[in-house]
Structure 1
């Protein structure tokens, strides 16, 4: 713990330099995290230093090669950068730019052609990839158009469904209100009926005077009238006959009494009820 804390303090001092180190809570977790950060930072710094040293070494090598080539040109051919014309300088710059673009160290013709061929192959592959991507893009655009149309149709269906649900919801709410009203009214009528039946029972009302009893009695009267109708038809032929006036008169009187008895029977039954 002490060794880690010392290393963390040293690293924080190096990072912030002349600025004061911010205060932080010292515990096992924070010390471990800062220790890991310090190790990672030192590792990256060492890698960076190695990379800088390598670049400096390569720069020194390139500068030495450049001085060597300049000496060779000056001693062998008598050429120097100061004696070259502007066109030669432009050609030389173009040659250097081409070598950098083609990533070749030797600027001989034998090295330029393979590099150009490689770039040509890469260009062909890029064009093929571009054509393939264009075909895929067209297909995606076509699918996107169909998808947008489908989304529009789905949104329209959703809107219609939402409106229909709103209308149905209003109808259902109205039906519920009506059902509540009918239920309340039915309970009220049932209570009133029970109350009325209780009042009738308390007053010793005759059941024969109820609506149901009267309807039943009316049905019985109708049935009796239907039974009397055939008897009336049987008496009709005898109404005009008089072979024996006295006997016929007696028969007629008996038939009239029987008919009157039958006619008065329903009324008597109603009175008894």
Structure 2
């Protein structure tokens, strides 16, 4: 535990430098966390130092190779950077910039071609991905348009449904009001009928002169009139017969008696009505 605390304090002092180390609660958990951070930081610093050393070594190698190539150009060809024309210097600068962009080790054709091929392949893959994304975008736009149209139709249907519900609600409320009015009116009429019936009963009214009794008598009179019609038709053939045949006379007398009885009943009913 003491070793961890010592290492943590040393690491914090290195991190903050001249600034004071912030106060923190010293316990097992915080010390373990800071100890792991210190180890990770030291590992990264070590890796960074190795990378810096590698880059320094490569830089020195590049500088040595550049000095060697400069000596070759100066001694073998008699060229120097100052003796180059402006277009040649521009071309050389462009060549160097291109090599740096492509990330090649040197400016030879053998280094440029693979780098250019890699960039071409990356460009083709990017174009292929771009075309795929464009197809997906068109499909998404199409689905979005269909979705917007569907949303508009649904909103229109919802508005129509809301209006229809409002109308139906108003109609239902009106029907309820009418129903309440009809119920109250029916109750009032029922009470009036009961009071009228009680009043009629108190006056000992004959039920035979009520509306229902009169309607029943009218129906009976109509039925009797209908019964008379076929009897009159039976008498028609006998009206032209000679009074001499006794059988015809008997039939006529029977028909007359039946007709007289029906007429008498009819007159009684009519008088009663």
TM-score range, shorter chain: 0.5 to 0.7
2:158 to 158, 162, 168: 162
With normalisation by structure 1, the TM-score equals 0.63
Equivalent in the alignment of 1:218: 218
- Structure 2 CA distance, aligned partners of 1:200 and 1:268? 27
Tell me, yes or no, if structure 1 residue 85 matches structure 2 residue 88. no
1:264 to 253, 256, 267: 267
| Cα deviations by residue, 1:133-172 (Å, 9 ceiling, x for unpaired) | 3432442344244324423431332233123202321232
> How far has the Cα of 1:215 moved from its partner?
2.6
Give the paired residue count: 253
- Structure 2 CA distance, aligned partners of 1:99 and 1:264? 138
- Structure 2 CA distance, aligned partners of 1:181 and 1:94? 94
Equivalent in the alignment of 1:184: 180
> How far has the Cα of 1:257 moved from its partner?
6.3
Gap regions ≥5 residues in structure 1: 244-250
Q: What is the root-mean-square deviation of aligned Cα atoms in Å?
A: 4.9
Equivalent in the alignment of 2:249: none
- Structure 1 CA distance, aligned partners of 2:66 and 2:228? 154
Structure 1 stretches (4+) deviating beyond 3 angstroms? 1-22, 34-37, 62-79, 88-105, 205-214, 228-243, 253-260
Tell me, yes or no, if structure 1 residue 122 matches structure 2 residue 118. yes
> How far has the Cα of 1:263 moved from its partner?
3.0
> How far has the Cα of 1:47 moved from its partner?
3.0
> How far has the Cα of 1:54 moved from its partner?
1.9
- Residues 6 and 220 from structure 1, CA distance in 2 versus in 1: closer, same or farther, beyond 3 angstroms? farther
- Structure 2 CA distance, aligned partners of 1:2 and 1:187? 97
- Structure 2 CA distance, aligned partners of 1:12 and 1:207? 121
With normalisation by structure 2, the TM-score equals 0.63
- For structure 1, which segment, 93-102 or 187-196, has the greater mean C-alpha deviation from structure 2 after superposition? 93-102
